[in-house]
Amino acid sequence: MAQRKRQLVSNELAEAALQLLALKGFDAVTIDEIATTAGVSKRTFFRYFASKEDVVVQFLADMGTGIHAELAARPIEERPSVALRHAVWVSIAACGDHSDRALRVVQLILRTPALYARFLERQAQWRDDLTGELARRLGLDAHTDLYSQLAAGMALTAFDAVLQRWSNSDGAEDPAELTDRAFAVIAPALDAVRNGR
């Protein structure tokens, strides 16, 4: 019960912070404002997050966990391009489900140098996780076989391209269609590399 309550407070704080940051910009929002909006004290905020940047980092960590979990859940016989597209699509679909807020958060991350640096840092971890999962699925050694590392990198490059295009278009472009187009470009390489090893 206590763990559930902690998670609820953490979620409320994160939601309040992301909305404020996306609306007003990273530098314009104070921790006091976030705490007030969430209906908690500043001290409570610091029990959950070390800084407002940490709220965004948690958002990114959750996104990466979702991609990895979805890849691990895909049928083992599925072509790598299909499995990776579905895995990446989970995070992009979550953005589409909360389109306006998600677009503002994505734009905040991509347009704030400190947050974008953290995003790239997180993606390095995602790449390692996806590399390990792909290697496991295909019976490869993640440390010696290039395929899984290259495939993970291609999938995350496609993910980046979709987010950048969606962000730059101010939401005018459909993330589902962008994802389909991005994976149509890389699918032959993803599947041919596997067949050619």
CATH value at residue 45: 1.10.10.60
In the predicted model, residues of the chain with pLDDT beneath 70 are 95-99, 193-197
Q: Please report where in the chains the tokens 């019960």 appear, as a residue.
A: 1
**pLDDT in the model for residue 195:** 46
**pLDDT in the model for residue 104:** 85
Does the predicted TM-score (pTM) go above 0.75? yes
99 with 160, same domain? Answer: yes
**pLDDT in the model for residue 31:** 93
Nearest Cα to Cα of residue 115 among 1, 26, 176: 26
Range of 135's domain? 52-196
**pLDDT in the model for residue 96:** 57
34 with 72, same domain? Answer: no
Alpha carbon 75 to chain centroid distance? 22
**pLDDT in the model for residue 181:** 96
96 with 168, same domain? Answer: yes
**pLDDT in the model for residue 164:** 94
